Amino acid sequence: MPVLSSGSIPQIGDGFARFVAAPNISEQIERNLAHEIREAKSNPHDTHPPLRDRIAAAQKLPAGSQQQDMHLANSLLDNPEAAELCFVQTFNPDLQPDTLKRVTWDEVGIKVTVPRWRKIVGEYAGVLQGITAESLPDAIQKLPEIGSEIPDPKGMLLTPEQRTTRAGQLFGMGFGLALLRDGWELHTQPGIFYLRRGNDQLNPFLTVESLKSGELSRGAWVTRCREVGISQVELLPQAGPPGETEKLSLGCHSEVES
């Protein structure tokens, strides 16, 4: 949705392939599949036998009895991109397909994610001024108060919980931009999101959420900041609005592992 709202559209089929190949997603799929094969039970209303029984039946077929077709499923479509656009428009009737720009998933970080962060952080610059990575836990205690100042989107009435969540997202964006200015690389793909510098990895949004929930203690976070050398990194530098002083390092190559 953030990509579409920016006026761009990536390839959905390619995005899905990258998503299921992402390490944490593929591992979960394997676990779910193993559970389905092991635990699935039949129901009188099922249209098919359990997966376990179907696999067993297929294994009884004589070798080479069926000719294999190794073509990808989307080769059956005359125009995959047009089909994807039709699919997206079905769920977004107000979408103007002629105005959408095609982007690859490798371009989403630099063309969509970072510009969106800059825009939102710029609107609430005063909230983030003077906050460093190490002082994040103290600032996060004020999320409900900060969220109360966030205006309602057009046609919506935010609950206090939603306002607090949006304030947390604002902090995640500001922290992400701060890491980019500090030489970290953004790696964003379907199913994959983190910033990395050397052997260190951080997800700014998960960090904010963990600090907010108490799963990550203040002491542990301060130690982590000092370990990776970001203690005094400012979420919003004093000189100029966000974006002017950023030296972005975007890991736009694919991080998908087969």
pLDDT digits (tens, 9 = 90+) for 134-171: 999 999 999 999 998 888 888 889 999 999 999 999 99
The pLDDT of residue 253 is above 80: no
pLDDT band for position 16 (cuts 50, 70, 90): very high
Q: 95 Cβ partners below 8 Å, 6+ apart?
A: 4, 88, 89
Q: How many domains does the chain have?
A: 2
| 151 and 216 co-located in one domain | yes
| 166 and 229 co-located in one domain | yes
Average pLDDT score over residue span 108-112: 93
| 72 and 54 co-located in one domain | yes
Residue 166's CB is within 10 A of a number of other CB atoms, namely 17
Long-range contacts of 145-153 (CB under 8 A, 24+ apart): 146/170, 150/124
- The beta strand positions in the chain, using DSSP E, are 8-9, 101-102, 185-189, 192-197, 200-202, 249-250
| 112 and 94 co-located in one domain | no
Rounded CA gap, 234 and 231, in Å? 9
Rounded CA gap, 232 and 86, in Å? 48
Last residue of a domain, one of 64, 81, 102: 102
The pLDDT of residue 94 is above 80: yes
pLDDT band for position 47 (cuts 50, 70, 90): confident
Q: With respect to residue 258, please indicate whether it lies within any of the assigned structural domains.
A: no
Q: What is the mean pLDDT of the chain?
A: 87
Q: With respect to residue 145, please indicate whether it lies within any of the assigned structural domains.
A: yes
| 48 and 79 co-located in one domain | yes
Percent of the chain with pLDDT over 90: 56
The pLDDT of residue 247 is above 60: no
Closest CA to 235 of 105, 138, 149, 152: 138
- Between these two residues, 245 and 236, which has the higher pLDDT value? 236
How far the first Cα of the chain sits from its last, in Å, is: 26
Upper half-sphere CA count for residue 83 (Cβ side, 13 Å):
10
Provide the residue range defining the domain that includes 21. 2-102
| 189 and 127 co-located in one domain | yes
pLDDT value of position 126: 87
pLDDT value of position 140: 93
- The beta strand positions in 145-191, using DSSP E, are 185-189
Q: 142 Cβ partners below 8 Å, 6+ apart?
A: none
| 89 and 188 co-located in one domain | no
Q: Which residues pair with 197 in a beta bridge?
A: 200
Average pLDDT score over residue span 18-33: 93
pLDDT value of position 251: 47
pLDDT value of position 225: 97
